[in-house]
Amino acid sequence: MNEEERIQLLDDYLHKRLTAKQRSDFQQKLASDPGLQKELEIHELLMNGITLESKKTHFRKHLADLRKEAPVVPLQDPVVKKSRRMPVWGWAAGLAAMLLTGIFFWWERPSSGENLFTRYYEPYPSTVLASVTRGDTLASWQQLAVRSYENNDYQKAIPLLKKLASGQADSTGWLLILGISYLETDQYQLAESSLKKVVHDPDSLFYKQGQWYLALTYLKQNKTAPAKSVLQELGKQSGIYARKANQLLSEL
């Protein structure tokens, strides 16, 4: 794959243009290639920066155009009793300028927790979990749990994942995707509960992933303070999740 094709693949992945099979293959490569992870982060940062700057420029241009169109009302001599009415189009232009100004300054403010969640969230790839947890074999009901999760059938996956999470000594991997399944089905308290169990063990293979998704669960509910606390702890560590945590913190 040449450089142009690699960039196109990153762009297609971020804009969700890949098929389910292509997306799964890419996520497997991502899990085993730190260089590709870094390229993805850089590409995402560039994409977000260009998009935001483009929107800001667009607003600035409209504000400038509206200010040119809006008539300048001269100061009136206090003795003149005759009032002058601003034309209707003048009032409309002024009102539009005020609205655009408000929108522009709203855009300049830090993003809300839920907006940041939408930008940063992506379900954890079960292929990574499976490769760490099971080797090459899984019982049929375990396969069904993984398949249901991969197919975004979270309602079907949840009872199977609960069984997996409660029936194994090292269950943090299953608790992780159980928490994400709860998050996907808007069961935020249950998501928090599952993910807190993952981060309870700092020696777990999924400790950093648990911190990341717990912080996102808080953001989804606009719980900024606990999200910041988890992200700050994660940001002190190393690896891709630490870098993502620090980037997200800079926008809170």
pLDDT class of 88 with cuts at 50, 70, 90: very low
Which domain CATH number covers 135? 1.25.40.10
Are 59 and 107 contacting, i.e. CB atoms less than 8 angstroms apart? yes
pLDDT exceeds 50 at position 92: no
Average pLDDT (89-105) is 50
Q: What is the pLDDT of residue 101?
A: 54
Instruction: Give residue-wise pLDDT tens across range 153-196.
Output: 999 999 999 998 887 666 888 999 999 999 999 999 999 999 99
pLDDT exceeds 80 at position 15: no
The pTM score is 0.57
pLDDT exceeds 80 at position 1: no
Same domain, 97 and 188: no
Can you read off the two tokens belonging to residue 81?
């009793």
Enclosing domain of residue 51: 1-75+85-109
Same domain, 36 and 99: yes
Determine, yes or no, domain membership for 80. Answer: no
Q: How many domains does the chain have?
A: 2
Same domain, 12 and 92: yes
Average pLDDT (205-210) is 92
Identify which has the larger pLDDT, 219 or 75. 219
